[in-house]
Homo-oligomer: A and B are copies of this chain.
Amino acid sequence: MKPRASEFAILGVLSLRPASGYDIKRFVASSIGHFWNESYGSIYPLLKKLANEKLIQVQKGPQSGRERMAYAITPKGETALRDWLSTLPRTEPFRSELLLKLFFAWRTPMDISVAQIEERKREEERRLPIYAQIKDQLSRQHADHPELPYWLMTVSYGRHRSEAVVEWCNETLSSLAKLQKTSKKERGAK
Partner-B contacts on A (CB < 8 A): 3, 5, 8-9, 12, 15, 31-32, 34-37, 81-82, 84-86, 88-108, 112-113, 115-116, 119-120, 123, 146-147, 149-154, 156-157, 160-161, 163-165, 167-168, 171-172, 175, 179
CB distance from A136 to the nearest CB of B (A): 18
Query: Which of B89, B116, B172 is A97 in contact with, Cβ under 8 Å?
Result: B89
Q: Which residue of B lies closest to A178 (CB)?
A: B149
Residues of the B chain whose Cβ atoms lie less than 8 Å from the Cβ of A147 = 106
Q: Which residue of B lies closest to A157 (CB)?
A: B168
User: Which of A101, A113, A116, A161: most chain B CB closer than 10 A?
Assistant: A101
